[in-house]
Amino acid sequence: MTSMTPTTSMTMVQALNAGLRRAMEGDPKVLLMGEDIGPLGGVFRVTDGLQKDFGEDRVIDSPLAESGIVGTAVGLAMRGYRPVLEIQFDGFVYPAFDQIVTMVAKHHYRSGGITPMPMVIRIPYGGGIGAVEHHSESPEAYFAHTPGLRVLTPADAAEAYVTIQQAIASDDPVIYFEPKRRYWDRAEVDEVSPISGNPWSSRVLRRGSDVTLVAYGPMVRTCLEAADAAAEDGVECSVIDLRSLSPLDLDPVVADVQGTGRCIVVHEAPVMLGMGAEVAAEVTRRCFFHLEAPVERVGGAYIPYPPNRFEQHYLPDVDRVLDAIDRVTAV
Partner 1 sequence: MTEDVIRLLTPEGEFRAHPDYPIEVSPDLLRQLYRDIILTRRTDIESTALQRTGELGLWCPVLGQEGVQIGAAHAMRPSDYGFTTYRELGIFHVRGVDPVELLHLYRGTSHASWDPRRVGLGIFTIVIGSHALHSVGYAMGIQRDGADEAVLSCFGDGATSTGDVHEAMVFAAAFNAPVVFLVQNNQWAISVPVTRQTRAPLATRAAGYGIPSVRIDGNDVLAALGVTRVLLDRAREGGGPAFIEAVTYRRGPHTTSDDPTRYRDEAELDHWASLDPLDRLRRHMERVGALDPAFVAEVDAEADALGERLREAIRGMADPDPLGMFDHVYAEPHRQVTADRAAMADYLATVEGS
Ligand X SMILES: Cc1ncc(C[n+]2csc(CCOP(=O)(O)OP(=O)(O)O)c2C)c(N)n1
Q: How many CA atoms lie within 13 A of 52 on its CB side?
A: 6
With a CB cutoff of 8 Å and minimum separation 6, the contacts of 105 are 146, 147, 148, 149, 173
Binding of partner 1 at residue 79 (CB under 8 A)? yes
Examine residue 316 and tell whether it contacts a copy of itself (CB under 8 A): no
CB of 125 to partner 1, least distance (A): 16
Q: In terms of CB distance, is 29 or 290 closer to a copy of itself?
A: 290
Q: What does 34-91 look like in DSSP terms, one character per residue?
A: ETT-STT--TT-TTTTHHHHH-TTTEEEPPS-HHHHHHHHHHHHHTT-EEEEE-SSGG
* Positions in 86-125 near a copy of itself (CB under 8 A): 91, 94-95, 97-98, 101-102, 105-106, 109-110
Position with the least CB separation from ligand X: 92
Cβ(182)–Cβ(125) under 8 Å?
A: no
135 is catalytic: yes
Angle at 183 between CA 177 and CA 55, to 5 degrees: 80
Question: Least distance from C-beta 167 to a copy of itself, angstroms?
Answer: 19
277 binds a copy of itself (CB under 8 A): yes
Of 68, 71, 95, 116, the one binding ligand X (CB under 6 A) is: 95
Instruction: Specify the DSSP class assigned to residue 262.
Output: -
Name the one range near partner 1 by CB under 8 A: 1-9, 156-164, 166-174, 181-189: 166-174
Choose from ligand X, partner 1, a copy of itself, none: what does 27 bind? Cβ within 5-8 Å by kind. none
Q: Are 291 and 276 in contact (CB under 8 A)?
A: no
Does 85 help bind a copy of itself (rule: CB under 8 A)? no
Amino acid at 69: I
Q: Prior bond to 124 cis, omega within 30?
A: no
Helices 12-26, 157-169: axis angle to 10 degrees equals 30
Q: Is 75 in the site for partner 1 (CB under 8 A)?
A: yes
Chosen residue from 2, 3, 113, 232 binding partner 1 by CB under 8 A? 113
- How far apart are alpha carbons 53 and 24 in whole angstroms? 10
Rank residues 14 and 202 by Cβ distance to a copy of itself and give the closer one: 202
135, 145, 290, 313: the active-site residue: 135
DSSP 139: -
Total residues interacting with partner 1, rule: CB under 8 A: 81
Residue 191 within binding range of partner 1, rule CB under 8 A: no
**Of 193, 198, 149, 157, nearest in space to 178 by CA:** 157
Question: Which residues in this chain contact ligand X in the complex, by CB under 6 A?
Answer: 35, 64, 66, 88, 92, 95
Question: Which residues in this chain contact a copy of itself in the complex, by CB under 8 A?
Answer: 67, 91, 94-95, 97-98, 101-102, 105-106, 109-110, 133-134, 141-142, 144-145, 147-148, 246, 248, 269-270, 272-278, 280-281, 284-285, 288, 291, 293-297, 301-304, 331
Give the residue numbers annotated as catalytic, written as ranges. Answer: 135
